[in-house]
């Protein structure tokens, strides 16, 4: 598979696109004032210990308090198995063999100062997730202080290569730390691993020294900027080229690679074209499509992606695809295309948490297995941890995807100020019915013969032009004169009513608007 990394950097925003066969596979975005902080290490102060939740809240000096679960205490981690993958993030350690989770109240108390690392960004109203089990990623290894363990990324498949790497890092491992060989370390020798481990040990010593001299809450160590960290984590032998449009970023990455992987440095190129770099590689148009609810499949089917509070729902439809043989074959081909596209969209949009995929119902059990196998096979390409369960009795596939940060949709957008994120607003007909009920209440008050009604401009236009007769009947029925005015300051669904003496009656006579 042909892979490229395209970097668009400026003073306000940095974007990194991962292309696979010239198709956008992943997009990472970071703004100067919204720097991502997964991997950052803080000296925090325990604000509260909650035995009932087996968790604690830790003041990091950030806008939101960090959340620490008992399973993330330093005491809760015992011996480790080989990692499922050490490449994902600084805090991702895959499968672990843990001792029974200790009681948090036995190890933490309010006011205690502790060293923690952020493993998940603040999302919505939740503060960042933190752990005492610190890990420091390097180019070829991940160093874990306080753990006596040597492991190899599970993505290195060959048994002899795993044993060779394990022997190398076992001989190089200092006392008091654990080491995990990363996927990019496949084929590397003693010199590369020794240099990487030496760098990580020095870094940890600096962190310990600074932590000892600092008072909580304070930042002790900041993870690399997004561009540098992605080059460290993603720039493997599979990447053919890296293009960067910023001279300073190009110089920094070139210097970094010449120090750790000189053989890769020549693949990094400074883009000097006239067109914006994302336009030159046809990325901008692909980014715009990532915010669309409907995604078309090649044969005419489509999937719909809907975000709910607790999960993301993906619905598969045949759309314009009618097939050539029979209905089961048409449905099977649509589902197979969706099984490939859904994992791609999850990566591209950076969707995490619980995902439910509603494939079209199939009668043939072998077709069901084929679709599920295809889905799981495509999910293996994802660096984030994923798990897809068997098809349920309702024909749904439930799955999870590791979430460290908000999705691209939440990063780039905000809730509509009119509908509040619902995606629906009251219809014009609903607003007319609402006005009718309000006039009934005005009539019951018995003291008003004339009122002024203010609504949004499009609602006023509808009432005057499309429903003029009904509006006149409304005045006649309730024996009241209605002065209708449009107010650009009002949203669809809002209505204000005033008496002839300019007293506002809205609270007394306007009820809730059903969202239909």
Ordered per-residue pLDDT tens for the chain, 516 residues:
788 999 998 878 888 999 998 899 999 888 766 677 888 999 999 999 999 999 999 999 998 999 999 989 987 665 344 344 444 444 444 444 445 788 899 999 999 999 999 998 887 778 999 999 999 998 889 999 988 888 998 888 889 999 999 999 999 999 889 999 998 888 888 988 998 899 899 999 999 999 999 999 999 998 877 777 888 888 877 889 999 998 888 888 888 888 777 888 889 999 999 899 999 999 988 888 888 889 999 888 999 999 888 899 999 998 887 766 788 888 999 999 999 999 999 999 989 899 999 999 988 889 999 999 999 999 988 888 899 999 888 889 999 998 877 777 777 777 887 777 778 888 999 988 888 888 888 888 877 889 999 999 999 999 888 888 888 888 888 888 999 999 999 988 899 999 888 888 888 778 644 444
In whole angstroms, give the CA distance from residue 486 to residue 276. 44
Q: Tokens 């609810």, residue?
A: 293
Q: Are 306 and 294 in contact (CB under 8 A)?
A: no
- Report DSSP letters for 60-106, one per residue: -SSSS-EEEEGGGSGGGEEEE---S-SSS-TT---SEEEPPPPPGGG
- For position 131, what pLDDT does the model report? 94
DSSP lists the bridge partners of residue 306 as 313
Element (H, E) at 294: strand 294-296
Angle between the 247-260 and 226-234 helix axes, to the nearest 10 degrees?
40
Question: Three-state SS across 41-70?
Answer: EEEEEEEEEECCCCEEEEECCCCCCEEEEH
DSSP structure class, residue 123 = B
Contacts of 272 (CB under 8 A, 6+ apart): none
Q: How many residues does the chain have?
A: 516
**In the structure encoding, which two tokens stand for residue 492, read together?**
């669809």
In whole angstroms, give the CA distance from residue 23 to residue 25. 6
In whole angstroms, give the CA distance from residue 442 to residue 482. 11
Element (H, E) at 29: strand 23-31
- For position 80, what pLDDT does the model report? 43
- For position 513, what pLDDT does the model report? 47
Q: Are 111 and 57 in contact (CB under 8 A)?
A: no
Strand residues in 182-238 grouped as ranges (E): 218-221
- For position 33, what pLDDT does the model report? 67
Quick one: 135 exposed, middle or buried, by C-beta within 10 A (0-12, 13-18, 19+)? buried
Closest to 362 measured CA to CA, from 389, 338, 323, 327: 327
Q: Are 464 and 470 in contact (CB under 8 A)?
A: no
Q: Three-state SS for 107?
A: coil
- For position 516, what pLDDT does the model report? 42
Q: In what order do the strands lie in the sheet with 13-20?
A: 23-31, 13-20, 3-9, 239-244, 268-270
Q: Three-state SS for 400?
A: strand
Q: Are 318 and 303 in contact (CB under 8 A)?
A: no
Q: Are 84 and 110 in contact (CB under 8 A)?
A: no
Contacts of 262 (CB under 8 A, 6+ apart): none
Q: Tokens 């002839």, residue?
A: 500
DSSP lists the bridge partners of residue 313 as 306, 356
Question: Three-state SS across 240-289?
Answer: EEEEECCHHHHHHHHHHHHHHCHHHHCCEEECCCCCCHHHHCCCHHHHHH
Angle at 402 between CA 260 and CA 123, to 5 degrees: 100
Q: Are 295 and 343 in contact (CB under 8 A)?
A: no
């Amino acid at each position: 598979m042909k892979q490229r990394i395209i970097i668009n950097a400026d003073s306000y925003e940095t974007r990194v696109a991962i292309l696979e066969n010239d198709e956008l596979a992943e997009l990472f975005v970071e703004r100067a004032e919204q720097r991502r902080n997964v991997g950052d290490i803080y000296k925090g102060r325990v604000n509260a210990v909650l035995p009932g939740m087996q968790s604690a809240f830790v003041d990091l000096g950030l806008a939101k308090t960090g959340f620490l679960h008992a399973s993330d205490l330093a005491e809760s981690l015992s011996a480790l198995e080989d990692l499922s993958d050490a490449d994902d993030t600084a805090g991702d350690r895959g499968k672990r063999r843990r001792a029974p989770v200790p009681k948090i109240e036995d190890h933490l108390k309010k006011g205690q100062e502790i060293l923690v690392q952020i493993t998940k960004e603040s999302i919505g109203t939740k503060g960042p997730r933190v752990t005492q089990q610190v890990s420091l990623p390097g180019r070829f290894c991940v160093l874990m202080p306080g753990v006596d363990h040597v492991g190899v990324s599970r993505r290195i498949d060959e048994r002899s290569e795993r044993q060779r790497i394990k022997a190398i890092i076992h001989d190089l491992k200092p006392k008091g730390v654990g080491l995990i060989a990363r996927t990019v370390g496949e084929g590397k020798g003693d010199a590369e691993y020794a240099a990487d481990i030496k760098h990580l040990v020095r870094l940890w010593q600096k962190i310990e020294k600074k932590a000892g001299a600092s008072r909580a809450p304070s930042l002790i160590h900041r993870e690399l900027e997004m561009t540098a960290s992605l080059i460290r984590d993603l720039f493997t032998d599979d990447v053919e080229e890296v293009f960067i449009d910023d001279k300073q970023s190009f110089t920094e990455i070139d210097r970094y690679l010449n120090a750790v992987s000189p053989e890769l440095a020549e693949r990094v190129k400074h883009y000097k074209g006239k067109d914006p770099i994302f336009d030159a590689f046809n990325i901008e148009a692909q980014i715009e499509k990532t915010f669309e609810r409907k995604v078309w499949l090649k044969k005419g089917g489509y999937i719909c992606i809907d975000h709910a509070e607790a999960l993301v729902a993906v619905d598969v439809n045949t759309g314009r695809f009618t097939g050539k043989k029979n209905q089961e074959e048409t449905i099977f081909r649509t589902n197979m295309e969706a099984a490939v596209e859904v994992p791609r969209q999850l990566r591209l949009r950076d969707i995490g948490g619980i995902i439910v995929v509603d494939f079209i119902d199939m009668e043939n059990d072998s077709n069901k297995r084929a679709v599920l196998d295809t889905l799981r096979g495509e999910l293996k390409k994802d660096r984030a941890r994923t798990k897809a369960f068997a098809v349920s009795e309702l024909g749904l596939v439930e799955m999870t995807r590791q979430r460290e940060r908000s999705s691209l949709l939440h990063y780039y957008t905000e809730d509509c100020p009119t509908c509040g994120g619902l995606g629906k607003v009251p219809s014009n007909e609903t607003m007319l019915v609402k006005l009718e009920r309000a006039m009934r209440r005005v009539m019951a008050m018995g003291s008003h013969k004339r009122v002024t009604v203010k609504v949004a401009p499009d609602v006023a236009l509808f009432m005057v032009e499309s429903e003029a007769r009904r509006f006149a009947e409304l005045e006649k029925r309730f024996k009241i004169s209605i002065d209708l005015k449009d107010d650009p300051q009002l949203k669809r669904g809002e209505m204000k009513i005033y008496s002839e003496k300019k007293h506002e009656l809205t609270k007394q006579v306007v009820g809730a608007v059903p969202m239909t």
